[in-house]
Amino acid sequence: MLSKFFGFSTFRAGQTEAVYALIDGRDAVVLMPTGGGKSLCYQVPALVRHGRGLGCTLVVSPLIALMQDQVDALVGKGAPAAALHSSMDVEEQRAVLSRFRAGSLALLSVSPERALADGFRRIMMNVGVGALAIDEAHCVSQWGHDFRPEYMRLGELRRALGVPTIALTAT
């Protein structure tokens, strides 16, 4: 998977443990500098787990531009990934939800607000999410109290889903 989708023959320091933890169904916390390869720590397991029939990895990300850039890069490599966000028109959102319901996505990136919205939560519970990745996890403590209170509720989402979780941050 690593060489097929990402062109690398080996993991960087710190990636191996996180990747195998998530593949094996265990939780992980990843603290790496910007550009250190954090995203790979959930992208590789998401592709492996999806290939094994273990569902879609839900990626919670704070910024539309960040999630879209990552998804575009994955799709460009042939990975079954999508983002679902407010900048998409209704038809685009429906198409992504249809792929999610059909089980054809390995990764789906959403904002914390979307992940916690009642309608989307019902869909997640019906479809079944295989793993949860919280990108830029430091936002939970930085933004969760005032600016984006949904970040403080990600623990609630994690408990409801009951799936392996990886939290990633550079700080």
For 93, the domain range is: 2-169
- 60-99 per-position pLDDT tens digit: 998 899 899 999 999 999 999 999 999 999 999 999 999 9
Domain count, the chain: 1
Residue 99: what pLDDT?
98
Report, as an integer, the average pLDDT of 46-71: 94
Confidence category of residue 110, pLDDT binned at 50, 70, 90: very high
Cα separation, 74 vs 58, in Å, equals 14
Identify the CA nearest to 46 among candidates 17, 79, 15, 13.
79
Q: What angle do CA 89, 138, 149 make, to 5 degrees?
A: 60
Instruction: Read off the DSSP letter of residue 166.
Output: E
User: What is the chain's mean pLDDT, rounded?
Assistant: 90
Cα separation, 120 vs 102, in Å, equals 15
Instruction: Read off the DSSP letter of residue 34.
Output: T
Q: Which of these ranges, 5-9, 96-100, 131-135, has the smallest mean pLDDT?
A: 5-9
CATH at residue 78? 3.40.50.300
* pLDDT above 90 coverage of the chain, percent: 71
